[in-house]
Structure formats: C-alpha cells, structure tokens
Chain A
Amino acid sequence: MKRIFALSLTAVLLLSSAVFAEDFDFESLFGDDLFMEIEESTSTTAVEDALLVNEGIEVGGQYHFNVNGSRTYMESLDPSDAFSANLGGQIFLDARPNPDFRVFAKTSLNYNTNFSEDQQEEQDKDQKQVSLRLTELFSDFHHNNQVYFRAGKQNVNWGVGYFFSPADVINVGRIDPTDPDADREGPVALKAHYPIASNNYYLYLLFDGVEKFSDLAVAPKLEYVMGKSEIGLGGFYQTDKVPRVMATISSTVGSFSVFGEGVVSFGSDKSFVEETVPSQENPFGYKLVERDDTIFQVTVGGRRSYTDPDGRFNFSGALQYFYNGEGYTDQEMLKDFRLNEMALGYFFGQKQLSLSDFSFTGRHYVGAMVGWSDMFNSKLSTSALWLANLSDGSGQLTASLSLPALSSIKPSVGVTRSYGEEGTEFGLLGPTTTVFAKVTIGSGSF
C-alpha cells in the first residue's frame, strides 16, 4: 500500500505543473503501452474477511477543547454574561480477533470548567466538572452469515428524520434539534438483522430498565426497497408503555434527499396538564391527565447539498415539518401554566411531571438549516438554523460565522434570537438575544 501511495504521489508531483488538461504532456502520458500487469494478491484470507480482522485492538477517538463567551439581552433586565471552557473527547476500542466476532466500546469524557461567580462546594464542583459516560459497548457475531447480531449498548438506526424523529422510540437519547448531528445515546439491546437481497428485517429486544422478563421491550422493523425509495415499517411493544407502529420513507428526488415518518401510538406515555376548577385536590386549578386515544405524528423533510463549479457556493440545507399529535391543542392554557410558578413547582417538585412530558408541546413544528462553507473560496463559513413551534408562535433563530483558523485555533461568532410571548416554548421568559463567541483550540480526531 505504501508503494502504491509513493507511486501515486510521485505521479501527482510530476504532473503538478499541469493545471488544466491541456497542460499535460500527452506524448509522455500516452507514449507507452497502455496495459499494465495486475499484482496478484498473495493473501490466503478472503478480502472481505480481512477487513473484519484487526491485529490487536484498534484505538481511536476525538479530542476537543473550546472556550465560549456569551452575553444575553432580555427586555427590562440587565445583560448577563457567561464564560466557560470545555474540555473533553471520545475514545473507542475496536477488537476483532476473527471475522466472526468483534467487541467495540466507546466512552465520552468531559471536563467542564465553570467560570461563573457562583461559588460551589468543592466536592460538588468536582462531581460536575468531570463526567465519564459509556456511549457504546457491544459485540457483533452472526449465524452462518445470514443473521447478524449486535448485543449490548448501541446506537440504533431507527427513524429517518433530521431535526425531529417521532418514530425513534428506541434510542435513549432524542435528537437535539439545535445539534441534529450530535451522537445520541442508544439502548442496551440485542439486535438481530436478517438481510435478503436489498431488503432488511430487524428485531430488537430492549433491556433498559428491565427488572423481570415481562418488562422486555420488543421492536421489529422491515425495510423494503421499491424503485428509488426505501420503505420502513416497524413497531414497538412494552408491557407498561403504549404500543406504537411506524412507517418511514427515504428517497432521492433529483438532487434532493427526501424523507418522511408516520407514527400511530395507542395512547401516550406522557402526562398532560389540564385546567380544572381549583379544589383541595387541585389547589392551583390544574390537574394531570393521561391520553389513551389514537395519536398520529407525521414528519416530512428534505436535504440538499450544492456546490457550484467554481467552488464559490458550497451550500447545504435541510428543511423539515413535524405534525405532533401529542402536542396541546390549547396553547393559551399551556402558556398560563408555564408562567404559574406555584403550579410548576408543585407538579415538578412532586415529580408528577418530568421534562420529557414537557418536550414538544406544540402541534406544528418547523426546522430549517442553511450552511455555506468556504464562502467565495475564502476561509469563512456561515450557517443559520431556525426552529419554530408554529402552534404557540415561538421559535429560535441562530446564525453563526466561522472565521479563518490560525493553525488549529478556530474562532467563530454568532447570535441566537429566541422569540415568542412569555410562557411559550422558545420564549419562556420573553424574547432574548444572545451573542456568543467560541474558540476551538487544537481539537481533532485520531
């Protein structure tokens, strides 16, 4: 392999004076016999198997160190400043003793330095500064190269949405719409994968929170290829949770990658707030209710990258709409509840409500992103992200600009504007504007 690289490098360097095709010396390039001998492989191991074996354990990962400063402006309040440094990374180990067995582990390590003026107990501070998290730990094996198993904690490929993925009830972590490419925490599961031609059949057994056999969750999924599209059909069943069925589609239309998800759940695992007459039982005029009706969730979206021939316009973009049947129809009641500190304190203090109950409270959402890298062949890149809850009229718009790097020091600046009336999802305390600067120092993968 080194020889091939050396030969290729030599050829490139020899030809490096040629900037366009016409600059090549065709007499020398096409002056000899066109045919060359093929190097016969001497390996006794099949190529496809050789890729599944490592000598020893492969180690790799990613390292990051960045410094962040921001100032937030809110109406009728003094600006507040924040400054922090973040140090961390990921390390993975990949052991492949033979083509039939593999063990993979990945951990995330973070060391947070809090520069705020809040004083904390030294012990408490240490606990918050260092965090070590097991992201993945699984083994791969198979039965006769027909059924493939992955057992352990693993990121699961379930759902096709970019900003929102209602079909993904398998992964422990949910997509963060403000950082949709970030890793999500997966479940502890046994995956069985049976591919037939272009189609795939999956069965997951999920073990998180399982104390007895009947707690096991089961999730089958089928993927069918039809023309230029892939259709997915799946389901989820666990004794104490509502059953769900889902369908996904991903395809390409021209240069666009398009996707869609539809989910039907027979009830909801969330608790919902409802207005009621104040009483001794419901002192704040609110009560919690469960839903056992049939709930629909649908999302559609697309992604596109575009680079013009001159390389001046390197655009990437994504747009997604999400209809959330689990959202509240009465947004005014919800706004009042969010602003009622006593009621909030009561329900969250009693742990009758959790943060997940209060995620995606709207019925209609939109996410959009546009990125422009190497603007006009410069070292500047910019991006804009818009997330909106159309039901309560709130949203968040973030624009950032990456400045030219100095060695491995990469600065960026940006602004985030949250809008919406008080009590809305994105404008909880009223409209806010945050300007921020971030410097990434010596970060990279290995």
Chain B
Amino acid sequence: MKQLRYFAVGLLLVLGFSTIVLADDFSHIREVLHRIDEQSRFDDTDLASVLTVITEDPEKGLEKMVVRQFRRDDGERFLLLIQEPSVQKGQGYLLEGDNLWFYDPSSRKFAHTSMKESFQGSDARNADFSQWSYSSSYKIVDYSDGTLGKFEVYIIDLEAVDDTVPYPYVKLWVTKGTNLVLRAEEYSLTKRLMRSALFPNYAKVGSGVIPTQMIFIDELVKGKKTQITISEISTNKLPDHVFTKAYVERVSR
C-alpha cells in the first residue's frame, strides 16, 4: 500500500514536471509570436501603399483590382479605396476601431460590414488588411522544426482564443531568427484546410516588415487563388482627415 502511494506521488511529480517542461518549451515560440506581432505593427508611423490584387478563378478567369491603402495602426484605422476596375472605382472600406464601413458611391451610403467577409469576392478577407495579433488571439498547440525552401523554420500549430480572427486553427511556417511568416494554413472548426497563404517577399519599413507579395490559395476550389502585390509603400505621416467619411466621399466618384 505504501509502495503504491509512493508510486502515485512519483507519477504526479513526473506528470507535473512534464507539464512544466512542455510549458517552457512553448515559451520561446510565444516570444516568436510576440516578435511577429511587433514587427508587423507600425504604431509610430502611418503607411500608404498600392495593392494590386489578381484573382485567378477557373470559372471567371483572371481579374485585376488596384486598391489604394492607407493604414494607421495606432487607433486601428485603415482605408481601402478601389481604383480599378473602373466599374468599382470609388468603392471604399473604412475601419475605425471595431467598426468597418463599406462605401458605395452609387447610393452614397456607408454600410456596416464584417471583417470576416471576403474582400470583393477574392480569396482575401477584409481582416487580411487589418492588424490582429497572433500572440493574443491564438494559443500555441504544438510546434516542430522544419525547412521551407532554403530557410529553417518553426512550424507552429495555433488555436484561436477569440472570434476576432477569420479562422479558428492556423499552422504557421516562421523563419528562425528573422521571425517572418512564410506560409500559413488556415483550418475550419472541423479542422478542414480552407485556405493557404504564402508570403515569399518582404520589405523592411522602419523597424518593421511588411509582406510585399501574398498568395492566397483556396484549398476547396481547385485552381482558385489570389495574389496581392504591394508597391508604392510610403511611411509619410498622413493627415487625420484621411481616415474620415468626409475624405472617402470626396475621393469617390
């Protein structure tokens, strides 16, 4: 009986120690997620850029869209203005904190919309243009070491802890040392692979980095993918009036 008690206590100690070891194993991965968040935020500067969105759909063929983006992370603001095609020119998305409005120039109305909606029918979602945090919106489930192309990476499995993110499960391929997300797989609640994302190019902007090429692959519709190329990046201070409904109305047709 006494031996059994010693065995039970020993087992509990081993399990407890293992838990502590496992928790410690995730701590440096948690630090990696923090660094990804830090270097993708631009709290001290504004960002302006041009996004060229090319969607390849097996049914509809190639579609091109040019979008002017203004972004201010301090205050959670962004403005997306569609420049091409001419049919959609003047449509815009204005984010102010928790509120995202879509502006339709033909009705001259602003309508509330959701970050989880698809962006103009492409494989990108409105949330892809805003800031959200890997470190606070996800918990680490597991990780392993691996390589992607010529880069050594951490392969990290994440599970969402809030509903601010578009997908509940994510697998990330993150470069060791530079903490760049090269690849992401996004899964549904039933762990079905929904979308893959590839980030083969980055640009250094101040103390942060920004992906200059993003490829989103619809894993459910064969051959459907969207590529977003970012150009004309500027970190010049933008006037406050850019992030207002008044500016959206003036700039739209």
Contact = CB atoms under 8 A, between A and B. Distances in A.
B58 to A, nearest CB: 9
A142 to B, nearest CB: 8
Interface string B93-129: 0001111100000111111111011100000000000
Given A4-B52, A21-B185, A21-B219, A51 B68 contact: yes
Contact of B202 (A34, A198, A254, A303): A34
B244 A195 contact: yes
A11 interface: yes
Contact of B62 (A12, A104, A193, A200): A12
B217 A311 contact: no
A5 B168 CA distance: 33
Contacts of A29: 149, 198, 200
A21 B196 contact: yes
Interface string A34-48: 111111010000111
A157 B109 contact: yes
Interface in A352-369: none
A11 B213 contact: yes
- The contact size tier of chain B is 35 or more
Interface stretch (A225-233, A326-334, A340-348, A422-430): A225-233
B112 A250 contact: yes
- The contact size tier of chain A is 35 or more
Which of A27, A37, A140, A195: most chain B Cβ within 10 A?
A195
A214 interface: no
Nearest to B196: A21
B172 interface: no
Contacts of B183: 21, 26
Given A193-B246, A446-B86, A36 B212 contact: yes
A21 B193 CA distance: 11
A41 B232 contact: yes
A5 B64 CA distance: 8
B59 A377 contact: yes
Contacts of B204: 35, 38
A407 B100 CA distance: 36
B52 A51 contact: no
Interface in A20-63: 20-21, 24, 26-31, 34-39, 41, 46-48, 51-52, 58, 60
B222 A200 contact: no
A279 interface: no
A19 B148 contact: no
Contact of A48 (B70, B99, B203): B70
B111 A157 contact: no
Contact of A1 (B50, B99, B194, B223): B50
Nearest to A227: B98
Given A26-B149, A94-B253, A145 B239 contact: yes
Interface string A226-264: 011110000000000000000000111011011100000
A39 B231 contact: yes
B177 to A, nearest CB: 12
A170 B112 CA distance: 21
Given A34-B180, A198-B96, A60 B251 contact: no
Contacts of A198: 96-97, 99
B17 interface: no
A157 to B, nearest CB: 5
Interface in B205-253: 205, 209, 212-213, 215, 217, 219-223, 225, 227, 229, 231-234, 236, 238-239, 241-242, 244-247, 249-251, 253
Given A30-B149, A311-B221, A252 B200 contact: no
A91 B249 CA distance: 19
Given A35-B204, A251-B112, A310 B221 contact: yes
A258 B231 CA distance: 36
B180 A250 contact: no
B216 to A, nearest CB: 10
A60 B253 CA distance: 9
- 5 tightest CB-CB pairs across the interface, nearest first? A30-B149, A21-B196, A195-B244, A445-B87, A148-B246
